[in-house]
Every structure is written in C-alpha cells, then in structure tokens.
Amino acid sequence: MSVRVRRIYDEPDPDDGLRVLVDRLWPRGVAKDAAHVDEWPKGLTPSAGLRTWFHGGGSYEEFRRRYEAELDAPEAAELLDGLRESVRKGRVTLLTASKTPERSHAQVLLEQLGG
C-alpha cells in the first residue's frame, strides 16, 4: 500500500506498519527492544566498500548508480522482492540512522519500492 522512510531515532509511530531497518550496522544509542524493528535485511544494504567510498566524499549520483547495481545481485534482488511483497500488503517504514535520509541508500530503496 505505502512505504516511507524515517530515522530510527524518531519514536515509533502506530502508523509505521512493518518497521524495517535498512542499515548494515545497528545504530548507536538505540536499544534493540525500544527500536521495534520487525526486519533487518542486511543483504539489502550497501556494501561496506560502497558505504566507505560514499562517506569518504563520493558523489550521491555515483553512489546511487553503484548501489542500484548492487541491488541487482541475486541475494539483494530476492530481499527487495520480499520487501515489495510486504509493501503490497500494507504500510512499510524503512528505518535508517542517516542524518540525511533523502540523500542516502534509504531514498534509493524507497524509490525502488515505488514510494
């Protein structure tokens, strides 16, 4: 039905639906029981090398292109298909620790899911 991106540091919202952490590393300062994360598909996150490259000064446009290529890999593609199925069933909230979710991998995922 719908998908959105929120920061994991925000309080859970009753309208979040399925809460999916889309970061490879668990966010600092967030207790697992307080996060109310339903799924954590690490295979859907950017590779460590890509993440390091991007945070080292890589352009968002190039990051986006490389990350989309990573999403075509079999494991990531299967996880993405599963997430698409969840979106068809109801609301999905993608959670990230990124300070700028609109210029992160979470935004790329949002667009891949039709959000």
On average, the pLDDT of the chain sits at: 95
Long-range Cβ pairs for the range 28-37 (8 Å, 24+): 28/97, 30/97, 35/8, 35/95, 36/12, 37/8, 37/95
Tell me the per-residue pLDDT of 43-90, one tens digit each, with 9 for 90 and over.
Answer: 999 999 999 999 999 999 999 999 999 999 999 999 999 999 999 999
What ranges do the domains of the chain cover?
A: 3-112
Tell me the per-residue pLDDT of 88-113, one tens digit each, with 9 for 90 and over.
Answer: 999 999 999 999 999 999 999 999 99
Predicted pLDDT of residue 110: 96
Q: Angle 74-89/105-112 helices, nearest 10 degrees?
A: 60
Predicted pLDDT of residue 114: 86
pLDDT-based confidence at 1, cuts 50/70/90?
Answer: low
Distance (Å, whole) CA 24 – CA 13: 22
- Model confidence, pTM: 0.93
Q: Which residues contact 81 (CB under 8 A, 6 or more apart)?
A: none
Predicted pLDDT of residue 111: 95
CB contact at 8 A, 24 and 46? yes
